[in-house]
Amino acid sequence: MTAPPAASPNEALVGRHQNLRYTYGQLQAEVDRFARGLMAPGIRSGDRVGIWSPNHAEWVITQFATAKIGAILVNINPAHRVHELEYALNQSSCTALIIAPPFKTTDYPALLRERCPELSRDEPGRLCGARVPNLRTVIAFGQQHVPGTYNWEKVLEGAASVTPQELAARQSEQEFDAPVNIQYTSGTTGFPKGPTLSHHSILNNAIFVADYLGFTEHDRLCITFPYYHFDTPRGFTMRSYPP
């Protein structure tokens, strides 16, 4: 792997293992583009969008993009096996799921097909799985081709059919106390619970943590734990490594 470009004082996100660096402006542009791409196939306010992935830049982009369009991001533990995945998808009524490429011994597309073999047969956006009846759309990112899914890049291309004004209008409809995120517990004492967090809850937590720790725009924070159980603080750089 080649070394990433030199650091910039205006960086917002560094994906070291992906050789990616985003300034605040670049990150906002990518978030807006993906948000419009999600709107194109009909993802609406209140829809549950799951993400099943280790730490990747796409995880952060998804978190902000779903918040902009009023969708509720469902954090799914990347270590979940098929029965846990099925439970989370059904318990949260996920209509869309974003999956990572295989990582170490975990093949996310293959595991999903175990519970949803219809994925190999149905058209993207029209999934009809017997065991996950709410799930309609699967988006796969990274270097992988998964039948029955939208590729991440295709979703970004679909953003061209949704104007920035339409995204701004959707974003203006969101309320500060509306649900924005469902975070599942580990399930060590029973089935995992899915607490629902609001825009206000996540932002309030981030502001108080950042203020308490004295973070400024000049600081860098190395994220060593999984995003799936992480409220993103704002105003400083996040540096991510694979778990």
* Each residue's pLDDT expressed in tens, for the chain with a length of 243 residues: 344 455 556 899 999 999 999 999 999 999 999 999 999 999 999 999 999 999 999 999 999 999 999 999 999 999 888 999 999 999 999 999 999 999 999 999 999 999 999 999 999 999 999 999 999 999 999 999 999 999 999 999 999 999 999 999 999 999 999 999 998 876 666 677 788 999 999 999 889 989 999 998 889 988 888 888 754 433 344 444 444
Distance CA 30, CA 72 (A): 19
Residue 190 lies in a domain: yes
Q: Express each pLDDT in 174-191 by its tens digit.
A: 999 999 999 887 666 667
Distances (CA, A) of 149 to 41, 57, 155, 190, 206: 12, 20, 10, 32, 33
Distance CA 123, CA 184 (A): 29
CA angle 97, 103, 108 (to 5 degrees): 30
Structure-token match 């029209």, residue found: 126
Distance CA 177, CA 200 (A): 6
Task: Look up the CATH number of the domain holding residue 15.
Answer: 3.40.50.12780
Residue 3 lies in a domain: no
Residue 6 lies in a domain: no
How many CB atoms sit inside 10 A of residue 13's CB?
A: 21
Q: What are phi and psi of 238, to 5 degrees?
A: -105, 130
- The number of folded domains in the chain is 1
Residue 4 lies in a domain: no
Six-digit token pair at 90?
Answer: 């059904």
Q: Express each pLDDT in 34-74 by its tens digit.
A: 999 999 999 999 999 999 999 999 999 999 999 999 999 99
Structural domain boundaries enclosing 178: 11-240
| Contact in structure between 49 and 72 (CB atoms under 8 Å) | yes
Residue 223 lies in a domain: yes
Residue 5 lies in a domain: no
Residue 2 lies in a domain: no
